[in-house]
Chain A
């Protein structure tokens, strides 16, 4: 930009001002036209839609706020009596895909004998649980579709303890807002109470009739066919009932918190 001389002290000359304005306009117009031309090209469009917008702080805040609003909409849409479809054993996806935030060669190995499930927060009985104790609780099975946030889906067979029954058994405050999970592989996530109490939400101890293998979350995972895959934590080490928003590994990076299907 051309630096304008300071004319405050000089007499105001209308002709000079008009001249000045004209020059400013001439300077501004070509760039404005150029911008228009550029904005119409594909390159300009990608510039508008590319990194620049994505990196903008206020745009990101707006997107995060809308994602929060979508949490509310999904909580409102969630029907506790609506069941995810179940499938015959012949439709099970084989092999069932492994998926985590690390590779298959980095799977966490948990010692089943030393394993203790810790119970924290708004719960009357905070006694921790061993694996045999968990296996002695009434068990159920489901063959349901696992839907990944990436878009793929796979049908699997999971067995374990209905989570609603477990929460009542340990005297959890069922009016609390969140259940938070901390995992042996440093993963963490949290869910809403209505989903925790859904009949198909399960503390999973087996896969396809066998002890849950490490790649699917030994010794215990949470299985919810009503939520996307990243909401289903593996290798669960502790369960906390809380009213403080706990977030999650992916959720804190931008995945939608409710993640309902």
Chain B
């Protein structure tokens, strides 16, 4: 009896379920996703009213129906985006999670992991540890969303926020900055969704936490 017991493994085969993403992170992630989709779809309709480049977005991809409706959506969802973003950043910084998850971030590792990813060899062995490419991507999109808010404020209140206006190179230029910041978010979303489709466990983790 004693002998057979000692053969038994001391740790179970399946590691105990651990929370990868705390609840506050999951909630802020999905609120952010919701508000970003509204901001992009309504933003495209606003862009169409006076395009900066020689193209417009297909009407079916936009939100609001007409310029006035799109503006209402845009200036409603901006509160959700900004307040939720503020809560996310505060909790991320105060809890020390940002420091833990995103740093250290070394260019050499980014390059190495990027090459591995292209070869299809990048492992997602553990969901609670980001590879260097992920770290860079998430940090970039956070910085980009901050830029979107700042350039958006410069467009919305170009007279009341002269510092932001000058920082963005004037009213007309702020629109161009706002457009490219949007483009980067769209690019991020496309890659993000492809990666989730390739590793569906990540979607589960963002829903139930583990």
Contacts and interface: CB of A to CB of B under 8 A. Distances in A.
B150 to A, nearest CB: 16
Contacts of B52: 151
A261 B175 contact: no
Nearest to B46: A151
Interface stretch (A1-9, A47-55, A166-174, A234-242): A47-55
A151 B75 contact: no
B159 A226 contact: yes
B79 to A, nearest CB: 7
Report the contact-size class of chain A (Cβ under 8 Å from the partner). Answer: 35 or more
Given A49-B37, A64-B72, A66-B75, A150 B67 contact: yes
B171 interface: yes
Contacts of B47: 151
A150 B160 contact: no
Nearest to B64: A54
Given A82-B162, A261-B159, A66 B50 contact: no
Interface string B129-162: 0000000000000000000000000000111101
B128 interface: no
B61 A84 contact: no
A57 to B, nearest CB: 14
Interface residues of B, number: 32
Contacts of B36: none
Contacts of A250: 68
A79 interface: yes
B172 interface: yes
Interface in B44-68: 46-47, 49-50, 52, 60-61, 63-68
Nearest to B155: A151
Contacts of B114: none
Contacts of A54: 63-65, 69
Interface in A221-261: 225-226, 250, 253-256, 260-261
Interface of B: 37-38, 41, 46-47, 49-50, 52, 60-61, 63-69, 71-73, 75-76, 79, 157-160, 162, 165, 171-172, 175
Given A254-B66, A261-B158, 7 more contacts: A53-B63, A66-B79, A67-B75, A70-B75, A147-B158, A151-B49, A250-B68
Interface of A: 45-46, 49-51, 53-54, 62-64, 66-67, 70, 74, 77-79, 82-85, 145, 147-153, 225-226, 250, 253-256, 260-261
